[in-house]
Homo-oligomer: A and B are copies of this chain.
Amino acid sequence: MADTITPPTLPPNASMIQMIEALWRLPRDLVSEGYDDALRALAGQLPMTIHEYPTGTPCFTWTVPEKWHCREARLETLDGRVLLTSRDNPLHVASYSTPFRGEITREELLPRLHVHPRLPDAVPFRFFYYTRDWGLCCTQALKDSLAEARYRVVIDAAFSPGTLKVGEAVLPGQSDDCFVFCAHLCHPAMVNDDLSGVAVGIDVMRRLARLPRRRYTYRLVILPETIGSAAYLSHNEALIPTMRGGLFLEMLGTGHGHVLQKSAPGDSIMDRCAALALRDDGREHAVGDFLTVILNDERMFNAPGIRVPMASLSRTLPQGHPEYPFNEYHTSLDCPERLVPGSLEASRDLVLAIVDMLEYDHVPTPLFKGELCFSRYGFDYARLKMSLMQVLFSLDGQTSAVDIARKTGSPFAVVRECLEGMAAHGLIDKAWPTPV
């Protein structure tokens, strides 16, 4: 029985793919045992606090929902032949379906039996978070085969008081000012949406943990979508002023190019570093305004009264593409086999490159006058000539290293090389872009 499934475990320092394979199949609903099992397993990968918010807790204008537990949902013929059961795949039942047990006619059944409009072999993901109702999901072939007059439906589900859980990992820095990575964990039996973002976030944090020093504090929050952000933020309002930016992570295992969705202000330091990292990365990518790529928890962070500039990073097709955001989105086909090898690692490295910019960024102030006699300071002038010029003339005591790279078009690594060469000779002074 589902009730007695042994909770999954993970070896210490599991790889991203190990995390995904161990946890993807769990029925990870908003407030549910599957979600709790997954979060508990992840908490062994790095120091993590698990915040709990009981059912009914007010969170800004939201309320923590009840726990939903579905022992089994199945469809069978009147003579007892099982046509589908959630024991095969949690997606066969719409999340948060109300309990039901009875015989219904084919005509009553069909509107509640959801298939995917484009993918006949897929079982779609449906949910009833905002209305009380029930539904089943199946492939087109199964639906087409239903020829009998009546069927039996069993949705052995229950609502009960529970606790919504948010996992938070914190890496302290010299400053309490922090950047927040965020990913949701509440999409049952799927991978790119949403385990891929969780895996990348954890791997990023494990690597940042090894840095000898960090200028900023970094947080990773893992939560059920939307309500999880509302719960976390409404109970940690004192932290909000320290959050200088954030990055939502998801859909990072597809083979599509990276897409940066800017934060609401669009020009925060996180936006600028992320756009620069993508530019310097050179591979195909896209940048879109807030609300124009994909909608997730970055909305809650950017909302009125909070206004943390959280961007989002994904690998999605453009809006308007028939397979937007990616072919297997919200279906049973979003499974480990579809992960494109190397995608998760490249996304992780991109996030690390962004952090590298955040950490290095500062406002250089020239301590010299005139164009430098570059030949005197050991610069590789033949290679760096135009970059040296562009960096030099950008030294206005206001423009930061990241902004110099953005405005001049020189790669960040080259700008950094020029600035470090100048700093090594005491030619510039460094100031952090804003007090921290």
Tell me the A residues contacting B by CB distance below 8 Å: 59-63, 130, 226, 229-230, 233-234, 264, 290-291, 295, 299-300, 302-306, 366, 368-373, 375-376, 386, 389-390, 392-393, 395-396
Give the nearest-CB partner of A365 in chain B.
Answer: B304
Selected contact of A230 from candidates B366, B370, B386, CB within 8 Å: B370
A245 to B216, CA, bound (A): 42
Closest CB-CB distance, A319 to chain B, in whole Å? 11
Query: Are the C-beta atoms of B304 and A389 separated by less than 8 Å?
Result: no
| Residues of chain B within 8 A of A304, CB atoms compared | 366, 368-370, 392-393, 395-396
| Residues of chain B within 8 A of A291, CB atoms compared | 386, 389-390, 393
Closest CB-CB distance, A106 to chain B, in whole Å? 28
A372 to B372, CA, bound (A): 55
Query: Are the C-beta atoms of B393 and A303 separated by less than 8 Å?
Result: yes
User: A291-B389, A375-B130 are contacts. A306–B369 as well, Cβ < 8 Å?
Assistant: yes
A61-B372, A304-B396, A305-B366 known, 16 other contacts, Cβ within 8 Å? A61-B368, A61-B373, A63-B373, A130-B375, A230-B370, A233-B370, A234-B369, A264-B393, A290-B393, A291-B390, A291-B393, A303-B370, A304-B366, A304-B368, A305-B369, A305-B370
Q: Which of A59, A62, A63 has the most CB of B within 10 A?
A: A62
Query: Are the C-beta atoms of B60 and A299 separated by less than 8 Å?
Result: no
| Residues of chain B within 8 A of A300, CB atoms compared | 370-371
The 4 closest A-B pairs by CB, nearest first: A305-B369, A60-B370, A304-B366, A130-B375
Closest CB-CB distance, A336 to chain B, in whole Å? 32
A302 to B393, CA, bound (A): 8
| Residues of chain B within 8 A of A63, CB atoms compared | 373
| Residues of chain B within 8 A of A370, CB atoms compared | 59-62, 229-230, 233-234, 300, 303-306
Give the nearest-CB partner of A297 in chain B.
Answer: B371
Query: Are the C-beta atoms of B303 and A60 separated by less than 8 Å?
Result: no
Can you list 30 A-B contacts (CB < 8 A)?
A: A59-B370, A60-B368, A60-B370, A60-B373, A61-B372, A61-B376, A62-B370, A62-B373, A62-B376, A230-B370, A230-B371, A230-B373, A233-B370, A234-B369, A234-B370, A290-B393, A291-B386, A291-B390, A291-B393, A295-B389, A299-B371, A299-B389, A300-B370, A300-B371, A302-B393, A303-B370, A304-B396, A305-B366, A305-B368, A305-B370
| Residues of chain B within 8 A of A371, CB atoms compared | 226, 230, 299-300, 303
Give the nearest-CB partner of A227 in chain B.
Answer: B373
Query: Are the C-beta atoms of A392 and B303 separated by less than 8 Å?
Result: yes
Closest CB-CB distance, A295 to chain B, in whole Å? 8
A295 to B371, CA, bound (A): 12
Closest CB-CB distance, A363 to chain B, in whole Å? 13
Closest CB-CB distance, A291 to chain B, in whole Å? 6
Q: Which of A60, A130, A371, A395 has the most CB of B within 10 A?
A: A371
| Residues of chain B within 8 A of A299, CB atoms compared | 371, 389, 393
Give the nearest-CB partner of A397 in chain B.
Answer: B304
A373 to B389, CA, bound (A): 52
Give the nearest-CB partner of A240 in chain B.
Answer: B369
